Amino acid sequence: MDFSGLPRALLLPLPVLLLAAALEGWYLQRHRVRPYDWRAYFASLGDLAGRMVINRLLGAGVAGLVLALAYRYRVTDMPMHRWWSWPLLLVLQDFFYYWMHRADHRIHWFWATHSVHHSPNQYSLAAAYRLGWTGKLSGSAMFFAPLAMAGFPPAAIAAALSLNLLYQFWLHTELVPRLGVFERIFNTPAHHRVHHASNPAYIDRNYGGIFIVFDRLFGTFAEEREDEPCRYGLVQPLHSDNPFVIATHGWLKLWQAARRARNWRARWRAVFGPPV
């Protein structure tokens, strides 16, 4: 959820989201629901601050170049002033987001950045904006290139992705229960709790952004179960609240895996195969 890349108007809710995360911690502490990890809260703030500085220096980054190049070779122009264009873009964007998110988990190169988001050992709203510092360099924007080639302007694609990610903020909490029939179509906190769990029964499930239908269609959906409480964090937990360590630990693991490889084929698998 890269807030530093949002259009200016969509950055306005950011202070409200930070306050909501703090109020969640206060509520959990006040009502003794469970102890709240304030060190992790401030670590996520440090991650956000570092990402905003780095993204300011990088500008559009790889994402902007990929979308601009794809749009240059578009096959048509989508009329964004029509009533159906934005709903269509949001659904299509979520479809490609599903595949990007699935790649984030199944390709080590992308996981090096995305593992930052899964590093908190406690599930809270503050985890929503812990996203790492290398998102603009990983090349994951290529998953949205088909939208630009179909004629959607890069600015509209960026706005749709921003709305998608803003929707996901409220998913990062244990305070919201199951939501009944709403969960048949839309992603919810219960679905996303499963996604963040490191239990073998839950791992690599529920990749959707706004919608959960693509997980149901492509066989990656899992229900939250009462007999299987979610255990959060990485399979090999990260016990650090240092934003620099949090941002680089995934890349260090990738480098170590590549160094251990005995030949170029093994190195390729270490970088572009599943994370280990």
Beta bridge mates, 52: none
Number of Cβ within 10 Å of residue 58's Cβ equals 18
Whole-angstrom Cα distance, residue 276 to residue 265? 16
Model pLDDT, residue 9: 47
213: enclosing H helix or E strand: helix 213-218
Q: Which amino acid is at 256?
A: Q
Share above pLDDT 90 across residues of the chain, in percent, rounded to a whole number:
84
247 pLDDT exceeds 60? yes
Span 13-52, pLDDT tens digits: 889 999 999 999 999 998 877 789 999 999 999 999 999 9
Q: How far is Cα 217 from Cα 83, in angstroms, rounded to an integer?
A: 27
Write down the pLDDT at residue 60.
Answer: 66
Angle between helices 264-272 and 243-260 (to 10 degrees): 150
Q: What is the CA radius of gyration of the chain?
A: 19
Burial class (CB in 10 A: 0-12, 13-18, 19+), 183: middle
Burial of 108: CB neighbours in 10 Å, binned 0-12, 13-18, 19+: buried
- Residue 11 pLDDT class (50, 70, 90 cuts): low
Decide: 199 and 231 in contact? Cβ < 8 Å.
yes
Domain that includes residue 68, residue range = 3-272
The count of structural domains within the chain is 1
Report the pLDDT value the prediction gives residue 107, as an integer from 0 to 100: 98
* DSSP designation for 172: S
Task: Show contacts of 226-230: CB within 8 Å, 24+ apart.
Answer: 228/199, 228/201, 228/202, 230/123, 230/193, 230/194, 230/196, 230/197, 230/199, 230/202
List, for residues 42-99, the tens digit of each pLDDT value: 999 999 999 999 988 887 667 788 999 999 999 999 999 999 999 999 999 999 999 9
In this predicted structure, the answer to whether residue 8 has a pLDDT above a threshold of 80 is: no
Mean pLDDT of 95-124: 98
197: β partners: 232
Chain segment 133-160, per-residue pLDDT in tens: 998 888 888 999 999 999 999 999 999 9
Question: According to the model, what pLDDT value does residue 144 have?
Answer: 96
